[in-house]
A and B are shown apart, each in its own frame.
Chain A
Amino acid sequence: MCLAIPARIVELEGDKAVVDAMGNRWRAKTTLLPEAKLGDLILIHAGFAISLVDEEEAKKTWQLIAEINDFKDSPNKISG
């Protein structure tokens, strides 16, 4: 459940962000990571950025996610 997904901030207004991971875009908030800037890579859990993350680490995680065949079908892909 504590899985967090790395994504890049592609839009940012106040603490409201649009993020992109592997071509998927969704809304997230940076309330818990006030230092996050447009273009930053962040770890997102349950709709909130919790940490900055570097390019290498993000790529490793995206690769892992891509390997999980049933990931997209899972009902708990963000929370779980």
Chain B
Amino acid sequence: MLERIYKAQNLMDTACNTLGRQINIMEVCGTHTVSIFRNGIKSTLPKKIKLLSGPGCPVCVTDQGYIDIILQLADRDDCLIATYGDMIRVPGKGGSLETKQPNANIKVVLSSEDALQLAKDNPSRKVVFVAVGFETTAPATAVVVKEAAQESIDNFCILSGHKLVIPAMRALVSEKNHNIDAFLCPGHVSVIIGFGAFAEIVERFGRSCVVAGFEPLQIIEGLGEICRQLAAGKAELKSVYTAVVTEQGNTTAQEIIAECFEPVDGYWRGLGKIEKSTLKLKDKYSRFDAFKRFNITEMPGEDMSGCRCGEVLCGLIEPPECGLFGKSCTPEEPVGPCMVSSEGACAAWFKYGGVMGSGYQEIRRPGSQ
């Protein structure tokens, strides 16, 4: 294993020497963020390589406006809110789902199937499923929307906040002053969309896209591959997560997303409105669309005062540069979603302290940079 790490480190050193400047690599996956911090991967890298945590945590990228809508619906006596556990602690106007929980009707579910079952078990209530997540999670929502239609479970609906990764990456590299040299692409999103989906970012924007899994060696080898390309002056599409990621992805899942949803413009925390980046239910399933059922329009929300999660998500600042970090914003009492989610960059910085972490920090080849 050490040989493989050294090989990746050699590639990184070569890229640093060839480019002679800082190299910025953005990971767009909350699970990568956690693995990078937990395993102390930053300390195995040359000082000139900077890892940026991008918009890869679904809870973090969900706009405040959407959070406030959930909180409003939670106040209605006729509603039952079904949500993944990740969302319950995100603060908004008047608290969070967690602080409302004793008084409101909120159920944590592990699967969209559980949310649909809740609707079947509570026919007199309107069950609203808080449907967040990237392409990995959206197919699970689509399956139950189809089931609800087939079985006429009319007290079920979804508040779709599902987001697409590629439009966000496109938005980041379309900014004039962006500083992203390459992307370490998400593993399980790629299981669904296939690594071929990142071709546009490589071809149109000239940025390397390398898909990696979540174990530390995969991440280090992914970074090594990116550096090999940078040193050669190339931008290529590659997956080092060959165990589960194919070029075309899971076509059954892609088809069911396409059958139920269409991409529309949507709001992201920090990134603002991004063209065709959010999944909305198609007209034939509109009776399961909570926005329509409750006549709600999603508007961009106002971030909590002083919170700089938006800048963190764009890779513009590191968490400790936010004035709230570690002071009024901690994992116990979070202000922003990047501190709420265990996958958020702020939570990872707080827990593992920048470059520290267990595992790989001692593994630096003698004489390396």
Contacts and interface: CB of A to CB of B under 8 A. Distances in A.
B137 A53 contact: no
Interface string A61-80: 10010001000001111111
14 contacts: A4-B188, A28-B111, A29-B143, A32-B252, A33-B250, A45-B136, A46-B110, A46-B133, A47-B111, A48-B139, A56-B243, A75-B108, A76-B85, A76-B86
Interface in B174-230: 186-189, 191-192, 213-215
B212 to A, nearest CB: 13
Contacts of B81: none
Contacts of A64: 214-215
Contacts of B113: 27, 29, 47
Interface in B75-131: 84-86, 88, 108, 110-114
A75 B98 CA distance: 12
B143 A50 contact: no
A79 B341 contact: no
Nearest to A75: B85
Interface of A: 1-4, 27-29, 31-34, 43, 45-48, 50-54, 56-57, 60-61, 64, 68, 74-80
Interface of B: 29-31, 38, 57-59, 84-86, 88, 108, 110-114, 132-134, 136-137, 139-140, 143, 186-189, 191-192, 213-215, 243-244, 250, 252-253, 256, 341-343
Nearest to A6: B244
Contacts of B38: 68
Contacts of B110: 46-47, 77-79
B253 A32 contact: yes
B84 A46 contact: yes
Given A46-B112, A53-B244, A54-B243, A1 B137 contact: yes
A77 B113 CA distance: 16
Which of B30, B137, B191, B243 lies at the interface centre, i.e. has the most chain A CB atoms within 10 A of its CB? Answer: B243
A79 B86 CA distance: 7
Given A2-B31, A80-B86, A74 B188 contact: no
Contacts of B191: 4, 43, 50-51
A50 to B, nearest CB: 5
A60 B252 contact: no
A46 B188 contact: no
B140 A48 contact: yes
B188 A3 contact: yes
B108 A2 contact: no
A2 B84 contact: no
Given A46-B133, A79-B84, A79-B133, 6 more contacts: A1-B57, A1-B58, A2-B187, A46-B137, A50-B191, A78-B111
Nearest to A60: B215
